[in-house]
Amino acid sequence: MELYFLGTNAGVPTLQRNVTSIGLRMLDERRALWLFDCGEGTQHQILSSPLKLSKLEKIFITHLHGDHVFGLPGLLSSRAYQGGTTPLTVYGPPGTERMIKTTMELSQSHLNYDLNIVEHTGGIVFEDDSFVVEAALLEHRIDSYGYRVTEKDRPGSLDPAKLAAYGLKPGPLFGRLKRGEPILLDSGETVRPEDVLGAPKRGMVITILGDTRPCANVQPLALNADVLVHEATFMHDLADTAHEYYHSTSIEAAEAARAANVGQLIMTHFSSRYKDEEQLQPLLEEAKSIFPNTRLADEHQLIPVVHREQDSSPSD
């Protein structure tokens, strides 16, 4: 899995940064792309990226402020022209369906693929055999949600020595064991998957938060995540401003990462008062003083998701 930031600015785009949209590319896991938010200009950003709308499977909307959704009608309308004809599901807070359907109706846009819209107020919003996605309400001026994406543990690798002990050779039986099915040998002996598989491979956990100021639901969403994507709209000298406008500072993002025992913190959603990377460095330095494994989100750069080092418990 890899994260790709299509926009990292708060409120309005600048010449250096676009507004919020984050891609989660899962080519190995399900040959799919998921998007989190779709600010104005997202489809244009995708044209300059390695992401493919033909792979787009799901869009998760954190909240309905314009810098997070104004790119949605255009992307949905033109997706098919970029090879996207498979079904697409959009998840979002109440009002998402009305916004999309009203825009499509008034613009007389016609989609040649199935579009499903799922509104939610938190809880498990999606689950299949491989992934579960949970949402929880954050604290913002309108309802804003964070998402926790959990990849379910996968079976371990087949152990060649154990397979040889049963006289098993490469073939279809290997696939059945990998799928969790027991097999019956000619001798009448049953071989169970756990007899020949190594330890399960732990799945990844990625937490992506919408706009928020510090609140109680951040920690359960982020607990022991491999990666936490957290807004850091302001430096901490503007903590009062951040609180007034329902945003977070770099130090507050770092404190959340430390409390939740995450592997890596990626900060995004920067105020346009910070014009370039040089002006963003103080935010990074503030956060790293609290949580060293912090980075700034870079637009148009793939960031591999890696397992966090195992630890006993969150910090106090």
Residue 68: closest CA among 150, 122, 113, 6: 6
Q: Is 142 helix (H, G, I), strand (E, B) or coil?
A: coil
Measure CA 66 to chain center. Answer: 20
Contact criterion met (CB below 8 Å) for 283 and 296? yes
Which one of the listed residues 28, 37, 67, 195 is annotated catalytic?
67
Is 186 annotated as a binding-site member? no
Sorted by sequence, the CB contacts under 8 Å of residue 76 that are 6+ apart come out as 88, 90, 100, 104, 109, 111, 115
Is 140 annotated as a binding-site member? yes
Question: Counting beta carbons within 10 angstroms of the beta carbon of residue 207, is it exposed (0 to 12), middle (13 to 18) or buried (19 or more)?
Answer: buried
Is 307 annotated as a binding-site member? no
The pair of structure tokens assigned to 300 is 């148009």
| Count of beta carbons in the 10 Å neighbourhood of residue 5 | 24
Is 110 annotated as a binding-site member? no
For the four alpha carbons of 96, 47, 44 and 205, in that order, the dihedral sign comes to positive
DSSP notation for 186-204? TTS-EE-HHHHB-SPBPPP
Distance CA 264, CA 294 (A): 6
Is 67 annotated as a binding-site member? yes
67 belongs to the catalytic site: yes
Is 211 annotated as a binding-site member? yes
Contact criterion met (CB below 8 Å) for 206 and 24? yes
Q: Is 277 helix (H, G, I), strand (E, B) or coil?
A: helix
Is 65 annotated as a binding-site member? yes
Active site residues: 67
Which residues are known binding-site members for Zn(2+)? 63, 65, 67-68, 140, 211, 269
